[in-house]
Amino acid sequence: MASSNDNPALLDIAEVSKSFGPVSVLRSVSLQVAKGEVVTIIGPSGSGKTTLLRCVNFLESYDSGSIRIDGKEVGFRDGGARQRRSERDLAAMRAETGMVFQSFNLFPHLSAAGNIMLGLTKVRGKSKTEARSIAEHWLGRVGLAHKADSLPAELSGGQQQRVGIARAVAMEPKILLLDEITSALDPELVGEVLAVVRSLAEDGMTMVMVTHEMAFARDASSRIVFMADGGVSAVGPPKDVLAAETTNERLRTFLARFRASHF
Amino acid sequence: MGYTLNFNLIWRHFDKLWGGLLLSLELAVISIAIGIVIGLVLAVWYVSAGRVVRAIIAAYVEFIRNVPLILLVYLVFYGLPTVVDLAYSAPTSFVLTLSVYSGAYLVEVFRSGLEAVPRGQLDAGKAIGLTPWQRLIHVRLPTMLRITLPALSNTFISLFKDTSIASVISVPELTYGAQWINFNTFRIVEVYLVTTAMYLATGYTLLFALRLVERRFRAAR
C-alpha cells in the first residue's frame, strides 16, 4: 500500500477488526483513499464490504484499529483511549461523510426536496429558503427538478435512489459512501443511477462504493478493492486487480461465479 | 307484549343526556390528552432505556391491562383518599384514573410503532448528521405516527366508551344521565335506546374524523 506520509490520505482505515460474537467480519483491514479517488469494493457476500463501509461513518463500531477522515478519528475520542465519542460529536463527524443506501432509506413523510433540506436546515443551520434552493440545484443535477415536491412513494426506485444521492451530496461531504446502491433496482433503472455517480466522479467527489456492477467498477474507479473473508485480498487499479485473477484463487472463484450469474 | 314505546319523558329530560354526552366527551378528551403525553414519554423512554426501566414500564402496562377499569375507578375514588390525605371531586378522580389507564394502552401503541420504524430510516438520519433528539423528532416520530394511526383511532374510540364507567362514582356523564332518567321515569327501553344511539353517533363521528386524518397521512406517505 502506498505510503501516505507526504500526501496524507483523506480516509485512512488502519488495521480495523471487528467480530460479531465468534464470527470475524473484518480482519485487520487497512485502506487509504486519497482526495478525489473513486474506490470500489467488490467481493462475495459476507466478505465484510458493507460492514467496512458502515464503520467509516460509525453506523457500526469496530473492535480495534482506527478510521480517520482528514486525520480525525471518526468514532472515538482523540487521545487513543478508545473512548466512544459523544452522540453530538458523532453526529458532527457523520455530517462530514455522505451515505447512499441499498434500500434508499428516504424519509417517507418528506418530499424529495424535504429529504434533502432536512440535513441542510437541522445540521448545517441553513435557512429554509437557502436549503430549498440547494435542494433544487441538486435535484436538477440528478435530473429530478420536476419532482421536488413528490413524495418518495410517488417516485420509481431509480428516482428515489437519485434523491438519496442528492440528499447525501447536498451536505457537501468530504467523502461519499455508496452501499450497493443499485442492488435493489430493476435492471433498466441501474443506468440512470450510475450515470449520476459517474458525473459526481468527474466533479472530483471522493467516493467509496460497494458494488456488484463489475463493468462500472472497471470503468469508473481509480482503484478496486477485492475483499474476501473479512480481509483485503487484492487492491489496485482496476486492470491490475482483474488481472490478478491468475494468481488469486479467491478472486478467480468470485469472478467466475460472477460471470456465470451475470452473462 | 303490552309495552308501548313512549319517548315523551325522555325528551323532557333530554338535557340530562345532552349535558352528559358533553361531559363524556370532555372526560375523554382530557384523559386521552394526558394519556398521550404519558404514553409518548414512556414509549420513547422504553425504547432507549435499560432493562430496569423497561421492566418498570412493562409492569405498569401489565398492571393496568389486567385490572378492570371499574376497579381502578373505585380504588382511586374511594381507596386512595383514605390512605393519603387527598381530596378531589369525582370527575377529577375519574380523569386521573382514565389518564393513567389510557397512558398504559398508548405506551403499547406508541412503543410498537417506534419499534416498527425501519432501521434504514434511522441510519439515514444518522448519516446526514442528525443528533439523537433530531432523529426522534424529525424521523422517528413522524413515521411512528403514520404507522400507529389506525391503532390509535381504535384506542381513542374505546377510551371514549370507557367514560361510561364514570357513572359508578356519580359523575353526571351520558350513562349516568341515562340511569337518572331510568330511575325517575321507568322508561328503561326508551332511555337506553336513545343513549345507545347517542354513543353510536358520537363514536361514528369520531371514527369518521380519525379516518379522514388517516387518509390524509396515507396520501402523504
Distance in Å, alpha carbon of A91 to nearest chain B alpha carbon: 4
Sequence-distant (≥ 6) Cβ neighbours of residue B30 within 8 angstroms: B95, B99
- Of the pLDDT bands very low, low, confident and very high (cuts 50, 70, 90), residue B220 is low
User: What one-character DSSP code corresponds to residue A86?
Assistant: P
User: What one-character DSSP code corresponds to residue B187?
Assistant: -
Q: How many CB contacts within 8 angstroms connect chain A with chain B?
A: 80
More confident residue, A245 or B25: B25
Q: What's residue A263's pLDDT? A: 53
Distance in Å, alpha carbon of B213 to nearest chain A alpha carbon: 14
**A107 vs B contacts (CB less than 8 Å):** 121, 124-125, 138-139, 142-143
User: What one-character DSSP code corresponds to residue B76?
Assistant: I
Q: For helices A157-169 and A112-122, what crossing angle results, to 10°?
A: 20
Q: What is the pLDDT of residues A64-86, one digit of tens each?
A: 999 999 989 999 987 767 889 99
Phi, psi of B164 (to 5 degrees): -60, -25
Average pLDDT, chain A: 91
Q: What's residue B218's pLDDT? A: 67
Judge residue B140's burial from the number of C-beta atoms within 10 Å of its C-beta, 0-12 exposed, 13-18 middle, 19 or more buried. Answer: buried
**B120 vs A contacts (CB less than 8 Å):** 101, 103-105
Distance in Å, alpha carbon of B41 to nearest chain A alpha carbon: 20
| CA-based end-to-end distance of chain A | 33
Contact of B220 with chain A, judged by CB distance below 8 Å, is answered with yes
Short-list A5, A57, A17, A40, CA closest to A225: A40
Q: Is B5 left (phi over 0), alpha (psi -120 to 50) or beta?
A: beta
Q: What is the pLDDT of residues A95-153, one digit of tens each?
A: 999 999 999 999 999 999 999 999 999 999 999 999 999 999 999 999 999 999 999 99
- A114 is a domain residue: yes
- For residue B123, give the nearest of A59, A87, A118 by CB distance: A59
Q: What is the mean pLDDT of residues B95-104?
A: 97
- A129 is a domain residue: yes
Average pLDDT, chain B: 92
**B128 vs A contacts (CB less than 8 Å):** 94-95, 98, 118-119, 123, 167-168, 171
- For residue A91, give the nearest of B130, B142, B143 by CB distance: B130
Q: Report the chain A residue with the minimal C-alpha distance to residue B145.
A: A109
**A57 vs B contacts (CB less than 8 Å):** 126-127
Phi, psi of B50 (to 5 degrees): -85, -175
Q: What's residue A1's pLDDT? A: 44
Q: What is the mean pLDDT of residues A234-240?
A: 92
Percent with pLDDT over 70 in chain B: 98
Short-list A8, A67, A90, A26, CA closest to A228: A26
Short-list B117, B109, B119, CA closest to B149: B109
- Does the distance separating the beta carbons of B129 and A92 come in below 8 Å? yes
What is the domain range of residue A132?
106-172
- Of the pLDDT bands very low, low, confident and very high (cuts 50, 70, 90), residue A3 is very low
Distance CA B25, CA A65 (A): 61
Distance in Å, alpha carbon of A4 to nearest chain B alpha carbon: 27
- Does the distance separating the beta carbons of A99 and B124 come in below 8 Å? yes
Q: What's residue A4's pLDDT? A: 43
Percent with pLDDT over 90 in chain A: 74
- A179 is a domain residue: no
> What are the sequence ranges of the domains in chain B?
8-219
**B146 vs A contacts (CB less than 8 Å):** 108-109
- Cell reading at B44: 420513547
Percent with pLDDT over 90 in chain B: 76
- A39 is a domain residue: no
Q: What is the pLDDT of residues B33-69, one digit of tens each?
A: 999 999 999 999 999 888 999 999 999 999 999 999 9
Assess contact for B154 and B162: CB atoms under 8 A: no
- Of the pLDDT bands very low, low, confident and very high (cuts 50, 70, 90), residue A262 is low
- Cell reading at B14: 333530554
Domains contained in chain A, number = 1
Short-list A57, A138, A8, A71, CA closest to B127: A57
Q: What is the mean pLDDT of residues B105-118?
A: 95
C-alpha neighbours within 13 Å on the C-beta side of residue B218: 9
Distance in Å, alpha carbon of A227 to nearest chain B alpha carbon: 24
CA angle A112-A158-A106, nearest 5°? 40
Q: What's residue A80's pLDDT? A: 67
- Does the distance separating the beta carbons of B124 and A106 come in below 8 Å? yes
Q: Are strands A223-228 and A38-42 parallel, antiparallel or unpaired?
A: parallel
Q: What is the pLDDT of residues A99-114, one digit of tens each?
A: 999 999 999 999 999 9
Distance in Å, alpha carbon of B212 to nearest chain A alpha carbon: 17
Q: What's residue A256's pLDDT? A: 87
Q: What is the pLDDT of residues B150-203, one digit of tens each?
A: 899 999 999 999 999 999 999 999 999 999 999 998 888 889 999 999 999 999
Q: What is the mean pLDDT of residues B18-23?
A: 95
- Does the distance separating the beta carbons of A59 and B139 come in below 8 Å? no
- For residue A153, give the nearest of B123, B126, B221 by CB distance: B221
**Whether residue B143 has pLDDT greater than 80:** yes
- A83 is a domain residue: no
Assess contact for A55 and A61: CB atoms under 8 A: yes
Q: What is the second-level CATH architecture of the domain B8-219?
A: Orthogonal Bundle (1.10)
- Cell reading at A10: 483523506
Task: State how far the alpha carbon of A204 is from the alpha carbons of A68, B96, B152, in Å.
Answer: 20, 62, 49
Which range has the worst mean pLDDT, A12-21, A254-263, B136-145, B168-177? A254-263
Q: What's residue B221's pLDDT? A: 46
Q: Report the chain A residue with the minimal C-alpha distance to residue B138.
A: A118
Q: What's residue A78's pLDDT? A: 77
